[in-house]
Structure 1
Amino acid sequence: MNVIPVPKNEKSRLKALHDHQILDSLNEYEFDRITELASIICEVPISLVSLVDEHRQWFKSSVGLDTKETDRELAFCGYTIMDTSIFEVEDATKDERFKDNALVTGDPHIRFYAGYPVFDEQGYALGSLCVIDRKPRKLSAKQKRALEVLSQEISSLIAERKIKEELKDFQKLFEQSNDLVFIGGIDGYFKKVNPAFERVLGWSEEHLLNTSSFEFYHPDDVESTVKELQKLSGGGKTVNFLQRFKTASGEYKTIEWASIPELETGNIFGIGRDVSELTLKDQQLAASEGKLRAFFNNSQGLMCTHDLKGNFISLNTAGAETLGYTVDEIIKLSLFDVMPKDKHPLVNKYLDEIKQNGKVKGQMVTLHKDGSIRIWMYNNTLQTDPGSPPYVIGNGTDITERHYLEEKLKRTSQMLEQTNQVARVGGWEYNLVKKKVFWTSVTKEIHGMPPDYEPDIETSINFYKEGKSRDRIAEVIKRAMADGTPWNEELQIINNKGEEIWIRTLGNAEFENGNCVKLYGTFQDIDVYKYNEIALQGAVEAQARLNKALSKYIDLIREQDKTIEKIQEFKFLADSIPQIVWISNPDGSLDYYNQYWFDYSGMSLKDTMDYGWTPVLHPDDISKDFKPWTEMYVEGKHYEEEVRFKRISDGTYRWHLGIAVPMKDSKGNIIKWFGSFTDIDEYKRALDLENRISQFEDFNRIVAHNLRGPAATIQMILEMYADSASEPDRSDYLAMLKQASSTLIDTLNELMKVLEIRNNQNLPYDTCNFKSIVNSVEVMLKGQIIKKKAIIHTYFKIPSMAFPKMYLESIFYNMISNSLKYSRAAVPPVITIKSEFEDGKLILTFNDNGLGIDLKKHGENVFKLNNVFHNGHDSKGIGLFMTKTQIETFGGNIKIGSEPNVGTTFTITF
């Protein structure tokens, strides 16, 4: 059977077909109706809408045929898509191309076929509308015309279907945006608002749509709003317009609006952002103006301002020195004075461009005062301040050394490519995830294939000579995919011309998460070498070593063009949002970023596609972000993570909240990920300050609480000393008093160490021995233990743990002192302390036989601040609150079990 021809634009055609996302979709009535109509008009039993992809023809709609697809090599439609007119076969049994076709010799026994190509809006033939009969025949002229018209209707349906899918994407963004998105009229009424209005302002959608927007404006902002509406009615745009908008609670929030009119309909399209908290930045900016001026003057790059004729207005010291001038000297010059004369036309072009676009970046060449050349990368912006002439802010980086290095690298790469051609060394790569094989041009030449040949893994292996060579290549590939073993083999292939050729193939494997995802290596024609080797083995071995060393430097990577069309309305809306917006495919490949990403990061689209977020992501956040990012694509989990991005305008890292949600098809399969990153840096700074205040409050409580015990012990010993008339007892009390005083001093020293550590923002973990901590607490509470005749039992299966000692000692102190304080009258306290390891966690238990707590009555308030459950015990209600806070701060939790007049058990888990 003849090989079905392939269109010259096959690669682009297949991309267009997959972009429509129509393959393997559900039946749709509109397509089925046209298919049925074609069958009726052409008087045939079978009619199909066939879409032709890499390996099959898939039927979007069919009449008279139950199957959904066939192999492409059997497809009559493979010929139809080669032309722009009808393709007709009157009797397939008499046609050399089809007489042996399985669809002719077997079911459905095709005899007659007529198909008209179906094109998309760009002119790519996606498939065909065809009619089939089981007996020979020929269409009339009217039937052919009808088939052509119906194929055009199919094209229209496919185009409309794509637009509907894109509109779904737009609606998703509209509903999930954190910014206020609206459509309104010049009359001041909203026509459509997104859910963010209710989240941010509190008003329901119904109330907003039925109330004049002027009812919500601050009285002082009405006049400026009227002027903005007048400007919009005349076709002007609104950018960064600030307006105070009343919320449902009666407060006002400051909204920054960006709007554009549609004069044909009178509609206004706009986006607003709550910048109430950001108004504080205006004050901060004024306060930091001096700092910015110092930064400008001391920056190591070139920073300057100049007017629209190129005359310098200001220039920093480092930039002037790099050009060989003082600041006073260069202020008297212009761009024309510091650039070679042959570059002056480019200066004029640059000045015209920045006047028109307001922003220009690129590469420029300057002259040093001594006549030497300096090369710069610059990024300049036109600044227009009210009441003053416009001027340009320039920022340049000296890349002279890098430029010459890149030129040298380019020449080296050209020499390497030429060497590969001479040495007949090619490269190859097999992506196991995408099932794609890539060959370099030299590899295709060795196989005798044309430059546009697209290989696949099966045919690649079948080029190897049957027997030893084919078995060996299959074996080394299997081993590399299993355990990563590389290979270096000399084998024989039979090229497309039927010639037997000796080749050397080198291969390596690449793994991700334990799975082989890619094989790659080199492919060298060593035919002459091998035959010479038979005659002169020694000389050829030396040549082989040279070829092997050379192959290590070959790294050819295929770049795939992933350009994706976006509808104009979506692009405008996404580019207007003052936050980072992105869209990715289910496999994790990112295919869209809004303009804010490029403005914020300073990265180009190519840089972003090549390197992702890594260049601007804070180094400490790269590994932290890897897990949730991987779980999003592998497990389909929603992505929500806080990371820091570097802002290109000032080089600072700012916290962003990243959120991504999936869009799914009717089967529940993820077809797109929509995500955004919102700047939360100010919020994070406020939260950090709040945490530091909370830590110092906690420290103050520990100080107050831990000093009470030793102080109370000293007071109690003094009372017992005063009541005793026995000199031996008094001697013992003085010894106890000295020990309690020493404990108090040790406690103060420990507290000072903790304070010093807190000031250094570094709280280390100690190896804390439980028995030693209990002994220390017993010393602090010795007076109470003796007075109440308390007994303390310890059972430590786990003798120690890693924990800040001062905190753990405070926890033990609180547990034991509470048991002593709330003991039953005339009943000596019995306190039991245990440690054990269960289900991978350390468990501490403190049990006593004291008064207990009525948990039915007080259970919800046990650990709350200032709650006291027994009167007359000198309680302040902070001990259990502080203990719970300390435990949870270091990742643990505490639970209570208690019964009045029986006792209490506290269980602490880490």
Structure 2
Amino acid sequence: MADTDRDDIEQFWELGRELFCVLADDATFLRVNPAWTRVLGWREDELLGRPAFEFVHPDDLAATRHVSIAEGGEGQQLEEFQNRYRHKDGSVRWLNWTGYKRGDRWYGMARDVTATRMSHDALQRSERRSRAVLEALREGLVVIDSDRRVVEINQRFGEMVGWTPREVVGSRPPYPWWPPEERAHIGETLAQSLKGKRRTLELTFMHRDGRRFPVIIDEADLPERSGRQAVLSVVRDVSELVGTRDRLAEAHRVADLNSWEWYPERDYVIVYEDPLSSGPQSTYEMDGETSLAGVAEPFRSELRRLRDETAQGLRGTFALDLQTGEPDPGRWIEIRGEQILDPAGKVIGVRGTAQEITARKRAELEARLQSDVLEAIDVAVVARGPDGRIVHVNGAVTRMLGWTREELIGAREHDVRIIAQDQPEAVELNRALRAGETWEGDLDLLCRDGARMRAHVRTAVVRDDTGTPQYAAGIIVPLAST
């Protein structure tokens, strides 16, 4: 070999970023390049003459001794594999290996893939935590890809429709939760959603037993590798809310409607108690504020202002919901008004309608209260990692129990006592978590100041591909004190 070629090879050996090595048949280092010092911190004299296995992480030693060897055209080849090596400072580096054997020597090359491996592991941990939280939520989740296949459903949605993920994942429309009479409508809705028209939908779904129930669906985009968009749907069963809405619609239907006219220059008002009547049922002089006497403040001032502005031509129409005064302060009236014009276009008065809307107001209040209660529910979320440490808490946890995020994240149960252990429910919960099972029940939680809080707790467990429990998430709902 020419000297120039040897010089080039030496330059490649000295400057290469990969870790090159020559090993004896017993895996003893015979030669290493400077990259070993740059990557792992060990000097050449600290490596030569020592078995490579001394530097392998103990957890990977058995697998490293049994790596797969294939017969190649020029000898034995080392199939690509990864293991961990100990850095001189005590840290760990992931190395990706290839190599071959010629005669009684092994020639190996390793690349430092620590950053890639750590990112991959972090992503997997994040995905498992997210899965644990999603499985514990009370909303149903459905993912449908751009080819209309069901990609995923969570446990809550399965409970909602009575089908398991194994039964429906991969299915195409019509899905089993589409009622036959609604299939055309829901199918068209899905087609619009897959075109990117994201919105809030109100549909009817069907349980496996045939029972229909109303749902509200919030949609979001979920990118696919192909560049197209899948649809992530958050599904809520709103049977109770729809019952309130039906009562609201009935209140509108049966509401009484009166009409009236007011002529300020002549200072009188005409009230038509029946909107279909051809003549006035009662006429009386205004006498100042007589027509407003039954209206409660502050609605009286607002109605007076709107009425006068309309009569003066400052506005064409107005509408106001107002509450009456004595003798029944609970009554509500909807007042609408518009200008009355003479043939010359001059404003000479105001006409409008007065509609009893007490039932509607009460139904709206009930619906609003239900909505406000749903929004105000303080639901806490806690996620625990495979080593028993807390890896996630939401703000509700700190508000409920008084601990800060800094105190909770990374802590174990014996570091921060959240569950009172002097109760049988705690034993049941701990047993379920150790066994990798879900659990739901009521128990006492411990606040930071030592106070006890009764709460309803629901847990879900995420397993890895081998079936081993990895992450557990808990949903905590405080119970009203008695």
In which range does the TM-score fall when normalised by the shorter chain? 0.3 to 0.5
Bigger relative CO (Cα 8 Å, ≥ 6 apart): 2
Structure with the higher strand share, 1 or 2: 2
Give TM-score scaled by structure 1 length. Answer: 0.23
Structure with the higher helix share, 1 or 2: 1
